[in-house]
Amino acid sequence: MHIAYTDEQQALKTRLETYLQSIVTEELLNEMKDPNLMEGGGPVFRAAMKKMGADGWLGLGWPKELGGAGIGPVEQHIFAETIMASGFPYPFLTIDTIGPMLAQHANGFIQETVVKEILKGNVFISVGYSEPNAGTDLASLQTRAVKDGDDWVINGQKIWTSLGQFADYIWLAARTNTDPAIKKHKGITMFLVPTSSKGYSCTPIHTLGVRTNATYYEDVRIPDKYRVSEVDAGWGLITGQLNRERLSIVNPGMMGGIFEQVCAWAAETKDRNGELLITQPWVKENLARVQADLEVLKLLCWKQAWAMQNGNPGMADSSAAKVYGSEFFVECYRRLLEVVGQAGTLKRDSKGAILRGKLEHRYRSGSVLTFGGGTNEIQREIIAGAGLWLPRARP
């Protein structure tokens, strides 16, 4: 037992932190001012991803036979935690969730044209699960894929297709079997839909925090080689990807970075009496509470990453980390904004903005996390069943 980084892991983190200073440049931060490029997608972002790919940072923890560096899931987690703390708009859905699923399950064609390009930092993928009438009850999705010769023809609509504005592919769940006699999650197949396909379109949805999208599929015709799962057997890939997504969206890196910045800010900012803010009892207690809760999140995520290396993280443990982490984020932004005060609502480029308005932006985007990646009520259901063995209520 050793509940801390090894010397090698610490060295990796330090090396990465230094490296990232050349990635998170003023030029990148300026590009990210555009609401459409806030989460990546601009030329500076793409160049940075290519550079990281070329320097071997992407797929650090992916197995060697899948084209990664094969160091391990703990190191992959360290990478994700550190890059998120740096402020880089890390495309974790592609690198940490869909990428590894494709590397494990996809055919030779996709391995060559997609997986290798992900590792080079060239390809980005969005998730196409939710539909206007299929959210938490995902298995009731209606987007249809119908076999036509060697092709599939796809018709339907997806919603909340985040990062769809610059995605190269959509990781799409479509109904391929409408037989009322089979269970609805057994009639779903996974595809990769190139966003260059005829009949595909994407329109923005502007939310409280970030831009997301609705995507439309009108007679989109794709060859069978873009099918990722066996026909009607996509559900396992969906849950596999979601398990990874749940860990990614509660990655403590993003919070760790902003927490340290607020602490440092409170240690150099004085109130009107000339006292440093951090010396005020309520300020430092707010910060200490965040510190204690953040430490727990870090440890839960470490343990998940370690468990991936040593078999499989339990379903209830992943769900517990997701519920805890997402509810902690919401609470944490509140506590940190209390410290900063009303000026915390000033936007990034406003006169008087504090810490480049990061907190106000993060709290606006943070409320997504309690329902994104599987709403917390469903996670609690999973815990009740898989963690506590309680009898199930729903049919």
Q: Does 380 bind other proteins (CB under 8 A)?
A: yes
- Size of residue set near other proteins by CB under 8 A: 51
Give one DSSP letter per residue of 305-346, joined into a string. Answer: HHHHHTS---HHHHHHHHHHHHHHHHHHHHHHHHHH-GGGGS
Residue 57: name the closest of 126, 120, 125 by CA. 120
- Site mask, other proteins, residues 336-375, x = CB under 8 A? ----------------------------------------
Nearer Cβ to other proteins, position 54 or 288? 288
Report the nearest approach of other proteins to the CB of residue 140 (Å).
Answer: 19
Report the nearest approach of other proteins to the CB of residue 263 (Å).
Answer: 5
Residue 38: name the closest of 79, 91, 81 by CA. 91
Across-strand partners of 320? none
Q: Which residue has the tokens 């036979």?
A: 65
The Cα 205–Cα 188 span in angstroms is 26
Helix (H) or strand (E) holding 128: strand 125-128
Q: Does 181 bind other proteins (CB under 8 A)?
A: no
Report the nearest approach of other proteins to the CB of residue 132 (Å).
Answer: 25
Q: Does 46 bind other proteins (CB under 8 A)?
A: no
Of 33, 285, 312, 341, the one binding other proteins (CB under 8 A) is: 285
- Site mask, other proteins, residues 301-340, x = CB under 8 A? -xx--xx--x-----xx--x--xx----------------
Residue 191: name the closest of 244, 126, 252, 257 by CA. 126
Residue among 39, 75, 245, 360 flagged as catalytic = 245
Q: Which residue has the tokens 């900063």?
A: 340
Report the nearest approach of other proteins to the CB of residue 251 (Å).
Answer: 16
Of 264, 338, 341, 347, the one binding other proteins (CB under 8 A) is: 264
Q: Dihedrals φ, ψ of 277, to 5°? A: -55, -40
The type of residue at 245 is E
Q: Does 263 bind other proteins (CB under 8 A)?
A: yes
Give one DSSP letter per residue of 159-227, joined into a string. Answer: E--TTTTT-SEEEEEEE----TTS-GGGGEEEEEEETTSTTEEEEEEE-SSSEEEEEEEEEEEEEGGGB
Report the nearest approach of other proteins to the CB of residue 315 (Å).
Answer: 12
| Residues 83, 90 contacting (CB under 8 angstroms) | yes
Count of other CB atoms within 10 angstroms of residue 7: 8
Of 69, 118, 138, 300, the one binding other proteins (CB under 8 A) is: 300
* Interface segment toward other proteins; rule CB under 8 A; list 87-95, 206-214, 233-241, 296-304: 296-304
Of 54, 208, 276, 330, the one binding other proteins (CB under 8 A) is: 276
186 token code pair: 């057994």
Nearer Cβ to other proteins, position 82 or 195? 82
Angle, helix 73-85 to helix 281-309, in steps of 10 degrees: 150
Of 4, 181, 196, 198, the one binding other proteins (CB under 8 A) is: 4
Of 54, 208, 288, 330, the one binding other proteins (CB under 8 A) is: 288
245 in active site = yes
Q: Does 136 bind other proteins (CB under 8 A)?
A: no
Q: Which residue has the tokens 């831009």?
A: 211
Q: Which residue has the tokens 């010397």?
A: 7
Report the nearest approach of other proteins to the CB of residue 129 (Å).
Answer: 23
Catalytic site positions: 245
Residues lying near other proteins in the complex (CB under 8 A) are found at: 1-6, 9, 74, 263-264, 266-268, 276, 278-279, 281, 284-285, 287-289, 291-292, 295-296, 299-300, 302-303, 306-307, 310, 316-317, 320, 323-324, 377, 379-381, 383-384, 387-393
